[in-house]
Amino acid sequence: MSLPVSEIVRDETRPGRSFLRPGAVTRKPSRQPSQKSGMTMGASKRKSFLILLAPAVLIYAAIIIFPIIFNTGLSLTKWSGFGEPKWVGFGQYAKILTDPVFLHGLRNNFLVVGVSVFGQIPVGFVLAYIIYRRMVETERFFEVMIFLPITISPVVVAILWNQIFSTSGVFTQLVRVIRDDPRYVFSIFENKQFAIVPILFVILWMYTGLYMVIFIANLQKIDPEVLESAKMDGASEWQILFRIIIPLMVNIIFTTSVFAITGSLKSFDLIFVFTGGGPAHYTEVVSIYMYLNTFRYYNYGLGAAVSMIIIVLSVGLIYMALGVYRYFASRYE
């Protein structure tokens, strides 16, 4: 391939190596740019950058930065949507953090995060590994079956599972017949501590396939020769897994953890349709608490404060995951 309009640039930081700067303007090597023309070029570039970036920055500011600033301000007020917002400082935060309903929702959220990070990711990885290493026959079949739930809308999934466990659902009716007890109901939903468990199970069932596919895609990037040579050197399956594959997967595990944490903290649709957060707030999560206060009770200030708490928690947990990632990354390096 000829390079008529590109310039071979010497990378001065790495002697002996060069790289292409595509699209760079061809210059005659003999002509050195003057200080003045260099400044003109810089100013022109800055202008180009500004023109090119401005629309994107404006849109980003309008739909991301402005709402965040507005939301932060709103969280310090009491406002029902009408009239002037009343300044209450951190009053909304104090109210939220002492509200047992919020604290129970937060506890449920941490359980969702837990089942996502320590359930979906490990199980997804194990399934991906089994399929990648062809430890089962008809691995394509399993791959499709495990991935299938993620292709269904969470609302549909929630309705389906609700139909199974509801007081008139398949599971309940079946047990009533088997036990000859017409008053039997799946009473775990009536237990404050454990009502969230069936939902955790459904979340695990639904999203594990997504992580499995991500892991399979990344496992397939590993050079098979590396594994073959490891085998020839006498490495066992465990050694291949822990000494070669997991170290290569650390960054992917971190990325999936970020997905799992952020996705879990804003989890809403599935739980809202499944139980609506009830009975008696037993299965409520923070996002449902925010929704009810904002859109049913019109406490915009309180809703804004809850969303700020969700952001802070998300960032905090992601930084924790980053810390863990760095520890393992440095260890494997």
Partner 1 sequence: MRKILLIGVALTAAVLMSVVVMGCQKKAESAAGGGQAGDKITLTMLEYQNVTDESEVAVWNTLLTEFKKENPNIELQIDPLFDEAYHNKLQAMAVADQLPDIMFLWPGKRTGAVTGSGKIKDLRPWLKGHESEFAQTAVAAQGPNGEIYELPEQVTATHVMFTNDKLLNELGLTYPKTLDELINQGQVIRDAGYIPIAMDNGGGWQMQSCFLSALAERTAGRDWIEKALTGEAKFTDPEFVDALKVIDTLAKNKMFSPGINQADYGQALTDFVTEKAVYFIDGGWRVTNLVTELSDDQKSYISLNVFPAVPNTKGQEESTSMVAGTGYGMNSKLEGARADAAWKWIWFYSGPVGSKIRQAEGALPAYNLPVPEDSDPMEKKLTSFIANTPAGYVIDAKFSQESMGVLQPALQEMTLGSLTPQQVGANFEKWIAENEPTRQ
Chain residues in the site for partner 1 (CB under 8 A): 80-82, 101, 162, 166-168, 172, 182-187, 189-190, 192, 276, 278-281, 292, 295-299
Place of tokens 């009502």: 195
Choice between 79 and 207, CB closer to partner 1 = 79
Q: How far is the CB of 184 from partner 1 (least distance, A)?
A: 7
158-164 long-range contacts (CB < 8 A, ≥24 apart) are 158/202, 158/269, 158/270, 158/271, 158/272, 158/273, 158/274, 159/273, 161/198, 161/202, 161/274, 162/273, 162/274, 162/275
Q: How far is the CB of 280 from partner 1 (least distance, A)?
A: 4
CA-CA distance, 306 to 313, in Å (whole number)?
A: 10
Q: How far is the CB of 183 from partner 1 (least distance, A)?
A: 4
Q: How far is the CB of 169 from partner 1 (least distance, A)?
A: 10
Read off φ and ψ for residue 328, nearest 5 degrees.
-70, -35
Q: How far is the CB of 275 from partner 1 (least distance, A)?
A: 8
Does residue 149 contact residue 203 with C-beta atoms inside 8 Å?
no
Choice between 276 and 316, CB closer to partner 1 = 276
Choice between 16 and 81, CB closer to partner 1 = 81
Choice between 5 and 156, CB closer to partner 1 = 156
Q: How far is the CB of 167 from partner 1 (least distance, A)?
A: 4
Residue 153's nearest CA partner among 24, 327, 59, 274 is 274
Choice between 169 and 247, CB closer to partner 1 = 169
Q: How far is the CB of 168 from partner 1 (least distance, A)?
A: 6
Q: How far is the CB of 44 from partner 1 (least distance, A)?
A: 34
CA-CA distance, 60 to 81, in Å (whole number)?
A: 25
- For 127: left if phi > 0, alpha if psi spans -120 to 50, otherwise beta; the answer is alpha
How many Cβ atoms sit within 10 Å of the Cβ of residue 192? 12
Does residue 107 contact residue 195 with C-beta atoms inside 8 Å?
no
Q: How far is the CB of 292 from partner 1 (least distance, A)?
A: 7
Which amino acid makes up residue 200?
Answer: L
Choice between 147 and 186, CB closer to partner 1 = 186
Which amino acid makes up residue 228?
Answer: E
Does residue 40 contact residue 47 with C-beta atoms inside 8 Å?
no
Choice between 116 and 299, CB closer to partner 1 = 299
- H helical segments located in 169-245: 170-179, 197-219, 224-232, 237-239
The whole-angstrom distance between residue 66's C-alpha and the CA centroid of its chain comes to: 23
Choice between 72 and 162, CB closer to partner 1 = 162
Choice between 298 and 319, CB closer to partner 1 = 298
